[in-house]
Chain A
Amino acid sequence: MIVLDRLTKRYGNAVSVDQLSLTVPTGTICALVGASGGGKTTTLRLINRLIEADEGRVLIDGTDAASLAPVALRRRIGYVIQSVGLFPHWNVARNIATVPDLLGWKRDRIDRRIDELLDLVGLDPASYRHRRPHELSGGQQQRVGVARALAADPDLLLMDEPFGALDPVTRDGLQAALLDIQARTGKTIVIVTHDIDEAIRLASLVAVLDGGKLIQHGSPHDLLARPANAFVEAFVGGPRRGLRLLQVTRVRERADFSEPIGGTPIDADVTLDIALERMVTTGAHRLPVYDRAADRRGTLVLAAIASPDGRQT
């Protein structure tokens, strides 16, 4: 668990991060979102002490980060940046091995770890181990960047707009890979992004920062359904907010399980945007629903998609 406790960072008279308190439970993905200059990156760098806080504390699993040597602290925390920053004079394997090398791991353990990580990030070890960074595409470089960050098996991964420089298709692939990696490893991940769709897709906890202050935090659904102020409302989508809300709400929450209907059912765990899409393309006002977990059948009607929970008050 990561606890940010009244973190403050000033540059001269300007306050970059202002009394920011936030708790990220173990094993969750937390997205720091907001406009440029809102203090997202500064907050991230305060966690691994690339920037030292003026006030406040960072507790990582109960240990005050300030009590560790910065270099030792950073070796325990994975770090991924937008510009990737692979070392151009080393091949992929050596890049990934950087931190295990520093930690003095045995050669064969490092070699096994490199193969394991390349598999995890979706690159074939045999063909990628010995390549140089310049021989890789942007997306492949960032996959290696993620592998390098995970090399020493840190519990915490910090990512600063990791997919911001990639084209939409590549970004989509890497987001899927990250979700998969998180599901398989249970890492705690703090990711900075200015892309609200990325935050909605990846994070279970979204923290909106503006002017160095934490404006609102909660699940994507909370933020979309109940934005705390105009800034959050504008940030989470303005006119597209309702559509995004569909992306974070499951069919299960709107289906009526008292009167099932026939036909090919839609899974209760898919989100409403997919159900709506199916209604539009098939011209149906109601869909049969199957809830696998509870083994029950039900119905989703068009009117339920716009039910009170999704409405602004």
Chain B
Amino acid sequence: MLALLPYSAPIFGWLFPELPRPLYTRASFLDLAVSHAALVGMASLVVITLGIGIGIFVTRPIGRDFAGPVDTLAAIGQTFPPTAVLALAVPAVGYGSAPTIIALIAYGLLPVIGATIAGLTAIPRAPIEAADGIGLSPQGRLLKVELPLAAPIILAGVRTSVILNIGTATIGSTVGALTLGSPIIEGLSGSNPAYVIQGALLVGLFAVATDLWFDELEQVL
């Protein structure tokens, strides 16, 4: 699709005959897609590390007291509109990729934290009790027993978060980040529905492809 779209000008010209420039050309679709993927990738890396880390922390004896506040905070992160995060982040870190990544992190953290906590607390008592009883250290128990058993649920959370952020990343274009949202934003402001369709099509395909890839990953696990 990425390869074919640049040659699709006649189709969009036929669909929208009133538009003088039916195909988005300000940046190549490949550049947009690569930049979009990089933004989501970077944000997801932070989200996964931080989310799983926090999830582990609040299910340990030392972190148990923080479980409530962390839950609330993560929920706020997700209910807070990403556009508002962008607006707040721009004065602090300027235009471009940085505020977009911050918004994506805030938005994507909740599913990962939630899934990690759910996964770790859903493990049956018996293996945990046995692990303690036969002499696994707390770290050994976490790495060898708890995380492998919680992995499917954690992965589901990561999947939700990444897919969510593939869509959310489009709004980064409002603050100057190069994403597949750029044609959408420009199409909206310039009354060019062809641009919107082109951007939305690619974002949608990107999300579906990623989702399918997670399917494969779950099969492997």
Among residues of A, the one whose C-beta sits closest to the C-beta of B149 is A89
A102: contacting residue among B126, B128, B140, B148, CB under 8 A: B140
Interface residues of B in 108-144 (CB under 8 A from A): 124-137, 140, 144
B136 in contact with A79 (CB, 8 Å): no
Known A-B contacts A88-B149, A99-B135; the reply to A79 vs B140 at CB < 8 A is no
- A8 interface residue, CB < 8 Å from B? no
B126 in contact with A84 (CB, 8 Å): yes
Among residues of B, the one whose C-beta sits closest to the C-beta of A73 is B135
Number of interface residues of B (CB under 8 A): 19
Among residues of B, the one whose C-beta sits closest to the C-beta of A85 is B130
- B67 interface residue, CB < 8 Å from A? no
- B145 interface residue, CB < 8 Å from A? yes
- Distance in Å from the Cβ of B220 to the closest Cβ of chain A? 14
B136 in contact with A81 (CB, 8 Å): no
Among residues of B, the one whose C-beta sits closest to the C-beta of A95 is B130
A84 in contact with B130 (CB, 8 Å): yes
Q: List 12 A-B contacts (CB under 8 A).
A: A50-B133, A71-B136, A74-B133, A77-B135, A79-B130, A79-B133, A86-B127, A87-B127, A87-B144, A89-B148, A98-B136, A148-B134
Interface of B toward A, CB cutoff 8 Å? 124-137, 140, 144-145, 148-149
B126 in contact with A98 (CB, 8 Å): no
The interface residues of chain A, by DSSP majority, are classed as mixed
- A72 interface residue, CB < 8 Å from B? yes
| Best-surrounded residue of A76, A89, A145, A149 (most CB of chain B within 10 A) | A89
A85 in contact with B135 (CB, 8 Å): no
Contacts of B131 in A (CB 8 A): 85, 87
A74 in contact with B129 (CB, 8 Å): no
Contacts of A148 in B (CB 8 A): 134
Contacts of A89 in B (CB 8 A): 148-149
Contacts of B133 in A (CB 8 A): 48, 50, 74, 79, 81, 85, 158
- Mark interface residues in A63-102 (1 if CB within 8 Å of B CB, else 0): 0000000011111111101011111110000000011001
A86: contacting residue among B128, B130, B144, CB under 8 A: B130
B129 in contact with A85 (CB, 8 Å): yes
CA distance A102 to B129 in the complex (A): 17
A83 in contact with B148 (CB, 8 Å): no
A102 in contact with B130 (CB, 8 Å): no
Among residues of A, the one whose C-beta sits closest to the C-beta of B130 is A85
CA distance A241 to B176 in the complex (A): 87
Contacts of B129 in A (CB 8 A): 81, 83, 85
B135: contacting residue among A75, A83, A145, CB under 8 A: A75
Among residues of A, the one whose C-beta sits closest to the C-beta of B145 is A87
In the complex, besides A81-B126, A83-B125, 5 extra interface pairs with C-beta distance below 8 angstroms are A50-B133, A75-B135, A84-B126, A86-B130, A87-B131
| Best-surrounded residue of B124, B125, B129, B140 (most CB of chain A within 10 A) | B129
Among residues of B, the one whose C-beta sits closest to the C-beta of A101 is B144
CA distance A87 to B133 in the complex (A): 13
CA distance A81 to B127 in the complex (A): 10
